[in-house]
Structure 1
Amino acid sequence: MASFQKYKTKDSEKWMFKMDVGIDPATGKRKTTTRRGFKTKKEAQLAAAKLYEEINSGTYIKDTDILFKDFAEDWLKMYSETAKISTVRIRKHELKHLLGYFGHLKLKDITRKMYQDMLFDLKKKGYADSTLDGIHTTGKMIFKKAMELELIKSNPTEYTKVPKQKKTIEDIENDKIKFLEKEELAIFLKAAKEHGLYMDYVIFSTLAYSGMRLGELLALQWKDINFKDHTITITKTLYNPKGKEGQYELLTPKTSGSIRTIKMDPNVMTLLKKHIAEQNEIKMRMRDKYHDHDFVFARPSGYPEVMKKVEDRMKRLLKIAKIDKHVTPHSLRHTHTSLLIEAGVGIKEIQQRLGHTDIETTMNIYAHMTKNLEEKASQKFSELMRSFIKNL
């Protein structure tokens, strides 16, 4: 176990501890580690307990000459124990870029300049700002863990600047949150009702009237629908990265705040009742071939619909409706938000309905939407005045 000791610094007193971390494979002798800088003995004891747990679980890495690729592999295993499978998949993809530059280097030999040069080089190769942000996030996590394990003396990701593309006026315009005006939404839903394929009208109506994420919608099961109270309860999200039927997982939602029950419009509940009757007819026709997992928006096979299919169906309907906007199913979530704001719904209520744990997320979207609505109001006023002046 650890031994604790108080020591004096120039300005105050601090605590340190020493701990046996096992046998050094190079010398065959017992090896100890010392950690300093704790404000209280309790702080030192908590750090020692955490280190002791890492040693016992085999996650403590003793070899300070370890290669980046080997440590990154161990880090990914540790990370995978607590992170969602969808997030782990993203980290693996970002890690590939880091391995291309640092894979065969010793972890302790990677400098701040080398790390900064890596980001500059990726930018020169044309990678998007969001891709660079993701790679940098993964890099920071890896080197932070290396610091915690005392494998490196300094963190090469500190003081690093991610190079950003200077935005043009066109870029700023494209950065605006995409959503449908209420008149456009009405035209779109009319097109879905009159020209939609199986499930189109009920899917897009439910998205537009709920503000749900597409993954949340496709994960819905009939047990989540309360026809008596006109509510839908969201407890999960669909994960199907390859977009192949049957190759899906049900994961916990994006955040804890995403678990929620929302009140729905009676007309949407009527559509869902009609949908369940149609689905039951399909089950009867398919009989034993139908994989009944209780999914609301199931394909004729019984498996949940895939995101790509919904996205393609929306493109088709936008073309039919002659709506020349680059919007996606997620844009219906923003459309729902804009209509809530226009209806005078408060920020807290919007946060709960959308399932944002952090009020800042809601505030950012609210600010974007409010700005868009203000611009629209200004534009309408200008058009009114032009028409008025023209008629004088």
Structure 2
Amino acid sequence: MIKKYKLKNGEIRYEFQVYLGTDEATGKQMRTTRRGFKTKKEAELALARIKLQVASGEFRKERAETFKEVYELWLLQYENTVEQSTFVKTVSLFNNHILPGIGEYKIEKITVDICQKAVNDWAKRLKNISKVKAYASRVFNFAVKRDFVQKNPFDLVELPRKRNKQLPDETDEKNFYTREQLIEFLSCLEKETNVKAYVLFRLLAFSGMRKGEALALTWRDINFKTKEIRVNKALSRGKDNKLYIKSTKTNEARTIKMDEKTMNVLRMWKKKQKEDYLKLGFNTAKLSQLVFSNEKNEFVQPTKTREWMLYVQEKYNLKKVTTHGLRHTHCSLLFEAGATLKEVQDRLGHSDIKTTMNIYTHVTKKAQEQAIQKFSSYVNL
């Protein structure tokens, strides 16, 4: 059947799919798709030609022609090299941005100018344009290796300079709490009935863990005797929007030393969890039990933490930071307390110390004031 479809610019094209028989090696049905015909007549002639070739045994399925077809071949290989969560994000990036831009072009006909125009268009609505370009380029590198094309046109594409970039507002609040703000936040949270939220947020603020790492913790990971927590996995979202456990972001486990009070809070929560969940029909005494679970004793939806935070922040008129902001808070206060870059890097689980320096070189106003006071005292003018 010949179908009509519309291009992004509104032009009409025609396509069809042909049954080619059964693959002797796999026993699976084989089909091929042809598209891009400007008129129905062109599509009908091409369809008739292929039917004759199939009937006479002369048809040979052509290799991937369009960027989208090459992408689909590349995707089969790529899926085996990354985590589910990364794979899902990559597919979304291609479906929402890259394929609508260049997916229908024949791979051999894509020039540097076409790629440059696509990158310029993506840059108008996307922040991390270098990442988008890199993924599109990977498909072309795959095409070069498969001998579909001779070279990668994205190698010659230049990233557009971001224009009209607004200067940061000096009154803009950063996504972390000062020591005093953190104390106030946790104090207000402790007054509420959501004990689970209080324990989780205190743990995040005093450990610097990523949210996904905390939501993946089991009681086996917590050693009350040595006051240590073993971080070796993380909760993430994979295919079909399902939550699953994966390795940490750096694929490395780390052990975090904790303070006495936070360990006591966790000990209190373990006891309360046992009592509360027993009423719901769940035995939480096993070491494999999640430290934080929902009412069905399953994974807590990561978006739930934002809801818990906003409730307390709005009720008590507190500064609004995100859940990840508690990780920033931990880092900032570590620096303020005199911790070295290496110590912070190890505790937060950064594989590269540049990440620690680039993301967490901000300091609190108190530290900034101390810096200028030291300068003033030293210069003594």
The residue that corresponds to 2:4 in the other structure is none
Shift of 1:324: 3.1
The residue that corresponds to 1:363 in the other structure is 357
The residue that corresponds to 2:245 in the other structure is 250
The residue that corresponds to 1:104 in the other structure is 104
The residue that corresponds to 1:79 in the other structure is 78
For 1:176-219, what per-residue CA distance to the aligned partner results, in whole angstroms no more than 9, with x for missing partners? Answer: 85211110000000011012524121011000000000000000
Letter in 1 for 2:104: H
SS in structure 1 of the partner of residue 175 of structure 2: coil
Letter in 2 for 1:117: K
TM-score, with structure 2 as normaliser: 0.74
Q: CA RMSD in A?
A: 2.9
SS in structure 2 of the partner of residue 307 of structure 1: coil
Q: Does the aligned pair in 2 maintain the 1:178–1:334 contact within 8 Å?
A: yes
For 1:13-53, what per-residue CA distance to the aligned partner results, in whole angstroms no more than 9, with x for missing partners? Answer: xxxxxxxxxxxxxxxxxxxxxxxxxxxxxxxxxxxxxxxxx
- Structure 2 unaligned runs (5+)? 1-60, 375-381
For 1:297-339, what per-residue CA distance to the aligned partner results, in whole angstroms no more than 9, with x for missing partners? Answer: 11222112111111111111122332233x1010110100011
Letter in 1 for 2:198: Y
Q: Is 1:278 aligned to residue 272 of structure 2?
A: yes
1:372 to 1:110, Cα distance in 2 relative to 1, 3 A: farther
1:64 to 1:248, Cα distance in 2 relative to 1, 3 A: closer
Q: How many residues align?
A: 312
Q: Does the aligned pair in 2 maintain the 1:239–1:249 contact within 8 Å?
A: yes
Letter in 2 for 1:365: I
SS in structure 2 of the partner of residue 94 of structure 1: helix
The residue that corresponds to 2:231 in the other structure is 234
Q: Does the aligned pair in 2 maintain the 1:215–1:237 contact within 8 Å?
A: yes
SS in structure 1 of the partner of residue 177 of structure 2: coil
Give the Cα separation in 1 of the matches to 2:264 and 2:285.
25
SS in structure 2 of the partner of residue 249 of structure 1: strand
Shift of 1:365: 2.6
Instruction: For 1:180-199, list aligned pairs within 5 A.
Output: 180-195=177-192, 197-199=194-196
Q: Is 1:161 aligned to residue 154 of structure 2?
A: no
Shift of 1:281: 1.1
Q: Does the aligned pair in 1 maintain the 2:273–2:284 contact within 8 Å?
A: no
Q: Does the aligned pair in 1 maintain the 2:137–2:154 contact within 8 Å?
A: yes
1:212 to 1:65, Cα distance in 2 relative to 1, 3 A: closer
The residue that corresponds to 2:121 in the other structure is 121
Q: Does the aligned pair in 1 maintain the 2:176–2:325 contact within 8 Å?
A: yes
The residue that corresponds to 2:290 in the other structure is 295
Give the Cα separation in 1 of the matches to 2:330 and 2:64.
54
Shift of 1:109: 1.4
Q: Does the aligned pair in 2 maintain the 1:282–1:300 contact within 8 Å?
A: no
Shift of 1:357: 0.7
The residue that corresponds to 2:332 in the other structure is 338
For 1:218-261, what per-residue CA distance to the aligned partner results, in whole angstroms no more than 9, with x for missing partners? Answer: 000111001111011011110136998xx42001111134x201
Letter in 2 for 1:95: F
1:307 to 302, 306, 321: 302
SS in structure 2 of the partner of residue 369 of structure 1: coil
Give the Cα separation in 1 of the matches to 2:240 and 2:267.
27
